[in-house]
């Protein structure tokens, strides 16, 4: 029985994580905010319950953190900051348990939180730690769409567009995972758009100031 328990446990966990990811992606990549407000709390509860069933697994913690962080958009400022701290703690626990889980997704998400969250004294935002986490994810999964896209996004935030272009190209060329096809295809579309906009901004060098401002404003609106 012990010999068969681990494969069955792993299969059950994988199936549950795939379902949770699929549900989250359908909610995240659509424009109905009222639906998102209703759906995220239920998904957070579902991820928490999965964490209770598999307390030594990193994957439920990663997804619980991801959903908590995306739900923060719909919370008050104080509640959102508390949610980001909760997500950060879950990701740190996941890394301590299994840093390579989900191809280093905990590093990707934690790195993203570090560069998106406000800095001290408001919150824990830290660009240097963000880069460390995102580079750690790339060591684990150098050709992954998530790792390349979010490191590129970080570089764009730091006005390092020449470096970002390399990673956006990798994200555009990354193979789409069968079990995450919808989410990967959506993220790859975002990578293509970001790459196009980065190239357009580069071509604007030397053009008049108002043309450059217009291009930047269009990029921000997208």
| The total number of residues written for the chain in this structure | 222
Its CATH class, for the domain covering 8-221, is mainly alpha
Transcribe 27-95 into DSSP letters: HHTS--HHHHHHHHHHHHHHHHHHHHHSTT-SHHHHHHHHHHHHHGGGS-HHHHHHHHHHHHHHHHHHH
pLDDT tens by residue, 171-190: 999 999 888 899 999 999 99
Model confidence at 213, pLDDT cuts 50, 70, 90, reads very low
How much of the chain exceeds pLDDT 70, in percent?
86
Per-residue pLDDT for 222 more than 60?
no
pLDDT digits (tens, 9 = 90+) for 18-71: 999 999 999 999 889 999 999 999 999 999 999 999 999 999 999 999 999 999
Binning pLDDT at 50, 70 and 90, where does residue 6 land?
Answer: low
Grade residue 7 by pLDDT with cuts at 50, 70 and 90. Answer: low
Q: What is the overall mean pLDDT for the chain?
A: 88
Instruction: Kindly report, residue by residue over 99-148, the tens digit of the pLDDT.
Output: 999 999 999 999 999 999 999 999 999 999 999 999 999 999 999 999 99
């Amino acid at each position: 029985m012990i010999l068969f328990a681990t494969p069955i446990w792993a299969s059950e966990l994988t199936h549950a994580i795939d379902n949770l990811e699929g549900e989250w992606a359908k909610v995240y990549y659509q424009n109905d905010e009222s639906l998102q407000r209703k759906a995220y709390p239920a998904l957070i509860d579902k991820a928490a319950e999965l964490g209770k069933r598999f307390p030594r697994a990193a994957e439920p913690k990663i997804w619980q953190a991801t959903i908590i962080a995306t739900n923060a958009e719909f919370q008050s400022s104080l509640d959102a900051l508390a949610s980001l701290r909760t997500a950060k703690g879950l990701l740190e626990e996941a890394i301590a348990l299994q840093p390579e889980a989900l191809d280093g997704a905990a590093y990707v998400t934690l790195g993203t939180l570090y560069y998106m969250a406000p800095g001290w004294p408001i919150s824990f935002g830290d660009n240097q730690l963000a880069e460390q986490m995102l580079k750690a994810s790339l060591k684990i999964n150098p050709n992954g769409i998530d790792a390349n896209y979010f490191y590129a996004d970080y570089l764009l935030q730091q006005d390092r567009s020449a470096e970002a272009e390399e990673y956006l190209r990798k994200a555009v060329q990354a193979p789409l995972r069968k079990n995450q096809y919808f989410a990967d295809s959506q993220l790859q579309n975002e990578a293509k758009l970001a790459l196009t906009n980065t190239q357009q901004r580069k071509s604007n060098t030397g053009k008049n100031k108002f043309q450059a401002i217009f291009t930047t404003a269009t990029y921000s609106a997208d």
